[in-house]
Amino acid sequence: MNRRPVISAYTPSNTDREVLKRIFVQRERLLEKIVERLARSMSTDDKHHILLVGPRGSGKTHLVTLVEYELRHRSELSDAMRVAWLGEDDTVTGLIDIALGIADQLAVEYTAEFDTDYRESVRGLDADDAAESILKSVIERLGQRSILLIMENLDGVFDGLGDMGQKKWRAFLQEHPRIATLATSQQLFAGIARRDEAFFGFFDIKHLRALAVDDARELIRKISLEQGNRDLVAYLDSAEGRYRIRALHHLAGGNHRMYVLLAEFLTKESLDDLVTAFEGLAEDLTPYFQERVRSLPPQQARIVQCLCSDDGAKTVKQIAEQTFIAQGTCSKQLGTLKQKGYVQSQKRGKESFYEMAEPLMRLCLEVKNQRGRPLRLVAKFLKAWFPESYLREGPLPAVGPPTALETAFCTGDRAVDAYGGNARDLLAMVLRRGHQEWEDYVAAIAALYERHRAADKLGQGVTLTIELLATEGYSPTQLDIWNRAWQRAGKDCEELELALRSLDAAVEAIKTGNDRPLFRLPLEIRELVRPLLDRSLSE
C-alpha cells in the first residue's frame, strides 16, 4: 500500500528532501544562484553571506532546506564543507550561544572531527572569553574546510547579540574567513539596514516574492500529484479550475504556506464549492493565527483583535478609541506591527488607514465569534466574481426585465453561468431607463434572482455597475436613487450583502471625489471595487 508523503506546512525541513524538490515552484533560478555562490564559498576564501527576507509562510525554510540538500549532494564539497544549522527556536543571549550552537551541531554530525566535551576546557571563563575560545577551537579543527552556517530568524539572533555582540561576531567572521552564512528573517531590521551598524552592507539580501496565481496553482498541482489526487490535478488544469484558484489566490495571497495547507484537504468538489474550501482552511489555520496573536505583547494583541473584529480599515484615532490605548502609544505599536507584517497602511491626506495585512487571518479569527459568516460571504462573493464565463469570448446575451428574465430562469440550466442572463448587462439596460423607473425594476429583478437562488450572480452584476456609475455622468441625486433602490431590495439577502456595501461605499466615493469611503470595505473586496471607479478619483 502506497503511503501519502508527509509535507509539513510549518516545518518544511522535516519533509523528505526529494519531495520538497519535486513540489518546488517559482524560485528555481534563485535556488541555482544561491547554491553556486555558497559552493564557491566552501572551496575558496571568498565567503558569501546571504539573507532571505520574507513574511511568515513565504517559503524561506523550504528554500533553505533545498539549498543545503543541493550542496550536500555535490561530490566536490564532501570534504570541503561542514554544515551547522542553528535551531530557529534557540535562545540567543550573546555570542556564547552562537559558539555553543555551532560547536554542538558539528560535534553531533562530525564526531570524528570535533570534540563533544569541549565545554570542559572553557569552564570558569566569562561568556565572551569562552565564546572566543570555542570558536577558535572550531576553526583550528576545520583545517582547510569551511562551515555553512544556517541561521533562521536572524533578527531575533541580532537582538540577543546586542550591539557589542554583533561587532565581535562581525570581527570574528572577517578575521577567520572559514564561515559562510545562509540566514532568514521576516523583515529587514536595524542591525543590517542602518549605516551605523556593524553588519550594514554585509549580507547579500534576497527578498522573496509572493507566489503569483499561476505559481500557486502549480504548487497545489504538484502536491496533488504527490498525493495521488488525480481528479484534483485534472480539475486544476481545466479553465474552471484555473479561475477557482484565482478566487482562492485573491484571499490567500501569495503565501506559500497557505497553499501547502490547502493542498492537504482540497478536492475537486471543495474547490468547486469554494465555501467548503475556505471553511476547511479556516479550521486548520485558526489555531495557528490564534497562537500568533497570543505571542504578541498585550497592547499589540489588543490592536490586532480590534482590526480582526471589523472588516474595514481604521485610522490611528479610531483604533486608539476602541482599544483604550493612548493615541501616541497606539501609533508606535502599529508601526511595530507593520514592521512585523501583521498590519498594512495607506496614507490619505494627514491620516493613515490601518488594516490586517492578511485577509485570511482576519477572517479566521472572526470565525469563532461570528460562526464563520464573514468567511462564507466572502467565499460566495469571490466564486461569483471569478466564474468560468470570464474565459469565454464576448459577453453573454443579455435579457430584458422582467418577463424575459423570468423566461431565462425557467428555461435555463442553473449549472451554467448563462442562467438568468448576464446580470451586468441587464442592469446596464435598467440604468439607461429613466431613474423614475429604477426602483420598480430593481425590486422585480432582486426578487427573481433570490427566488431562483442566483442572488450571488446578481451581486456580481450590482458591483460591476459601479464602473458605469463612475463614468457615465450620473448626478448625485441619481446615484442616491440607484443606491437606495438596491439597499431596500436586497436588505434581507445574505448573498447581496457585500455587493450592497460595495455599492454604498462607491457611491459616496464618486460623490465626494476621493476613495476614503472605500476603506469601510474589507481589503479583499476593496481590491476588486477600486479598479471599477474612474481613474480620476483622487487618492
CA gap 184, 180 in Å, rounded? 14
Is residue 5 a contact partner of residue 225, using CB atoms and an 8 Å limit? no
**pLDDT reading at 199 higher than 90:** yes
pLDDT tens column, 82-103 = 999 997 777 888 999 999 999 9
* pLDDT, tens only, 384-402: 887 654 433 334 444 455 5
Task: Label residue 3 by pLDDT band (50, 70, 90).
Answer: low
Q: What is the pLDDT of residue 411?
A: 61
Q: Is pLDDT of 157 > 90?
A: yes
262-302 confidence digits (pLDDT tens): 888 888 888 888 888 888 888 888 888 898 899 899 999 99
User: For residues 13 and 222, what is the distance between their CA atoms, to the nearest angstrom?
Assistant: 18
pLDDT at 45: 87
22-42 tens-digit pLDDT:
999 999 999 999 999 999 999
Buried b (16+ CB within 10 A) or exposed e, 198-213: bbeebbebbebebbeb
Contact criterion met (CB below 8 Å) for 343 and 334: yes
pLDDT at position 393, please? 36
Name 51's Cβ contacts closer than 8 Å, sequence gap at least 6. 154, 181, 183, 184, 185, 192, 203, 204, 205, 206
How does residue 8 score in pLDDT terms, banded at 50, 70 and 90?
Answer: confident
Check whether 477 has a pLDDT greater than 70. Answer: yes
Q: What was the pLDDT predicted at 402? A: 57
Q: What is the reported pTM?
A: 0.84
pLDDT in tens, 325-376: 999 999 999 999 998 889 999 999 889 999 998 888 898 887 565 566 788 8
CA dist., res. 492 & res. 507, Å (int): 21
Same fold, 27-207 and 304-360: no
pLDDT, tens only, 424-441? 888 988 999 889 999 999
More confident residue, 512 or 264: 512
List b or e across 498-531, with b for residues whose CB sees 16 or more CB atoms inside 10 angstroms: bbbbbbbbbbbbbeeeebbbbbbbbbbbbebbbe
* Distance spanning both ends of the chain, measured CA to CA: 59
CA 396, CA 300: separation in Å to the nearest integer? 49
Residue 147 predicted with pLDDT over 50: yes
Q: What is the structure's pLDDT at 397?
A: 42
Mean pLDDT of the chain: 88
Q: Specify the CATH number of the domain 27-207.
A: 3.40.50.300
Q: May I ask the CATH architecture of the domain 304-360?
A: Orthogonal Bundle (1.10)
Report which of 364, 416, 411, 384 is spatially closest to residue 274, judged by C-alpha positions. Answer: 384
Strand locations in 152-246, DSSP E?
179-185, 204-207
pLDDT tens for residues 310-337?
A: 789 999 999 999 999 999 999 999 999 9
Give yes or no for a contact between 101 and 153, defined as CB atoms under 8 angstroms apart: no
Highest mean pLDDT among 143-147, 246-250, 340-344: 143-147
| CA dist., res. 91 & res. 303, Å (int) | 27
So where are the chain's domains? 27-207, 304-360, 392-532
